[in-house]
Structures are given as C-alpha cells and as structure tokens.
Amino acid sequence: MDLLNIIEEIEKVDPEFQDKISPRRAAIKNITSFGSKVAVAAMPFALGSLFKKAYAQQSSSSIVGVLNYALQLEFLEANFYNAGLTSASFAAMKTTLTATELAGLTLIQTDENNHVKFLQTVITSLGGTPVSFTPANFDFTAQGTFPSVYTSSDTWLAVAETFEDTGVRAYKGQATNLIRNKTVLTAALDIHSVEARHASHLRMLRRARMLTAGMSSTAAIRPWITGANDTGIAAVNASYAGEDNVMQGGVNVATGLSAYNTIAGANATTSATQAFDEPLDMQTVVGIVTPFFKK
C-alpha cells in the first residue's frame, strides 16, 4: 500500500484538495508561474508575504477555542491532583499511598498546574479569555461512579490514569486543528508527550500493585494501552474506545506487514494495538469529563 497515493486518489474526486491541505505548495506553485519574471533579489520578500498569507490558516478564535478546551482538561487534572494530595477530604486515600508513590504523583501535580498557567498565558496573549474553574467546580466521584475515590488509592490511581490517557487522546485529536502552526502545535505536542509520560508512570504504579496482588504479568496493565480498555474498570470504557484499532493509514498493521509478523509472532495483534495511541474528538472527550464537573 502506498500511503502517499491517498492524496492522488482524493484529488481525482476533489481537484483542489492539494491546495486546501497544503497552502505552502499552492504558494510555491504561484511563485513558479511568474518566477522567471521576478528578480532573484526580490524572491525572499515575495516568499515572505506569500507564506504569511498561506500560513494564516487558523483564525485566532479557533485556536483559542482549542486552547480553552485543553485548559479545561488541565484544570480538571490539576485540581484532581491538588485535591488528592492536599485536601483533607482525600486524607484517607492519601494514607494508602507509599512515600515513593507520593513523590512521583507530586511531580505530575506540578506539571499539570504548570500546564494550566501556560495555557492561560498563551490564551491571553492571543487576545482570548481563558476559562476558569475553582476546586468547588469538581466532583471527583463523577456523580457517584467512583464513590471510593476519597478512601481508596486503587480507585484514585485508576481515575488519574484515565485522566492522563484521555488527555493524551484529547491533545492528539486537536493536532489537525493546529496543523502547520509552529508555536501552538509544537506547544500542544510538547504537552501531549508529557501527559503520555504521566500515563505510563501511573500505569506502572497500578501494574506493580496488580502483580503484588497476584495478577499474572500478561494480565496486568502495561505502561502502554492494550486493546480497548485494559484498565479493568468498565465505567471508563468510553476513554479507551477505539484503542484496539489496528488499521493505520489504510494498512492492517497487525497482519499486513510480514517482517513485523515474523518478529512479533503470536503477539502481533496485542503489540499492534499498543504501538499506536488513538485520538479522540472534542465532543467525545467533553462527554467523558462532564460528570467530573458539578452541574
């Protein structure tokens, strides 16, 4: 399969597709059409103005919308860690965390609070108004779905892990809305990978507990996501729906790449679902996190 041919296939149906997705190429095409008449000396300036035009793809209001969505999720995460690690109402839960676990969770808490501050600053600098939440806005039982979140660190860590995995999917789902935007897309990617590091760490905390409890090495949760919802908690199915996908760019990566199958053998499908994290759209993510916000 030639992934790059997808563009050609689409162009057969939509001749302007290339220009729509790739304004830079359109700009270059325009230049070459009158290129012979333009002095080489003027080229850098011609390029500059054309590129500026071509790159003004996303309106600042649409970028602010994406960033406020991200900020809302970061508020949820930051408040979750702030509450769990410092609020008296979570004291019973906190006593069931080890000192080493607490130290790592505090690092995550710091990152999430920094993400909130960073996004607030960026939104303001773009002329937008950052959304705002206070600790009183949250219900970490998700309206009764996780009643033991105040007392059980098993539950609390499971919710934390789900927030991180969902956050990874949420940022990934917005990448195309920020395409070619050096500053904002890069910042979003730089947060996205940090959320994935958090998720990996939380999953290993839970894995250690599962192994201690006697679960087998192959049954326990991994740092990476296996299939659709490997958390053992049915209530979070929506956060993992589609993670069992093995179709990537039109290729069935579990069965269609022979050199991979030779090496992965019987584990080819399992490893294939792990090897690619899937995006989630805004509507789905909002649906997932809404129960954590008080009405």
Partner 1 sequence: MEIFTKKSDQLIASPEAGQSQGMQRRQFLRYAGVGTAAVGLFAAEACKKDRNNYKGVYLGSGDVGILNYAYALEQLEAQFYINVVSNSAFATQFSADEQLLITEVRNHEVLHREFFKAALAGNAIPSLNFNFSAINFGTRASVLAAAKAFEDLGVSAYNGAGYLIQNPTYLVLAGKIVSVEARHAAYFRDLISPNTFVGQDVVNVSQNGLEYDKTPQYVLGMASAYITTPINADDLPTS
Rounded to the nearest whole angstrom, what is the least distance from the CB of residue 26 to partner 1 in the complex? 11
Rounded to the nearest whole angstrom, what is the least distance from the CB of residue 17 to partner 1 in the complex? 10
**Number of residues this chain uses to bind partner 1 (CB under 8 A):** 85
Binding status of residue 25 toward partner 1 by CB under 8 A: yes
Binding status of residue 52 toward partner 1 by CB under 8 A: no
**Residue linked to tokens 């996908």:** 245
Site for partner 1, residues 252 to 271, rule: CB under 8 A: 253, 256-257, 259-260, 263-264, 267-268, 270-271
Binding status of residue 118 toward partner 1 by CB under 8 A: yes
For residue 223, which phi and psi values (nearest 5 degrees)?
Answer: -65, -20
Rounded to the nearest whole angstrom, what is the least distance from the CB of residue 103 to partner 1 in the complex? 5
Query: DSSP string spanning 119-144?
Result: HHHHHHHTT-------GGGB-TTTTT
Residue 247 DSSP label: E
Report d(CA 100, CA 119) in Å as an integer: 29
Report d(CA 102, CA 91) in Å as an integer: 13
- 131, amino acid identity: V
Q: Are 240 and 225 in contact (CB under 8 A)?
A: yes
Site for partner 1, residues 84 to 103, rule: CB under 8 A: 100, 103
**Residue linked to tokens 């296996």:** 226
Q: Are 143 and 178 in contact (CB under 8 A)?
A: no
Name which of 94 and 203 has its Cβ closer to partner 1: 203
Name which of 21 and 31 has its Cβ closer to partner 1: 21
Site for partner 1, residues 275 to 294, rule: CB under 8 A: 275-279
Rounded to the nearest whole angstrom, what is the least distance from the CB of residue 34 to partner 1 in the complex? 18
Site for partner 1, residues 122 to 141, rule: CB under 8 A: none
Task: In the chain, count H helices and then E strands.
Answer: 13, 2
Q: Please identify which residue in 11, 14, 190, 281 interacts with partner 1, judged by CB under 8 A.
A: 190
Site for partner 1, residues 139 to 168, rule: CB under 8 A: 168
Name which of 146 and 172 has its Cβ closer to partner 1: 172
Strand pairing category for 247-248 and 251-252? antiparallel
Rounded to the nearest whole angstrom, what is the least distance from the CB of residue 250 to partner 1 in the complex? 9
Binding status of residue 206 toward partner 1 by CB under 8 A: no
**Could you tell me which residues are beta bridge partners of residue 138?**
293
Q: What is the radius of gyration, based on Cα positions, of the chain?
A: 23
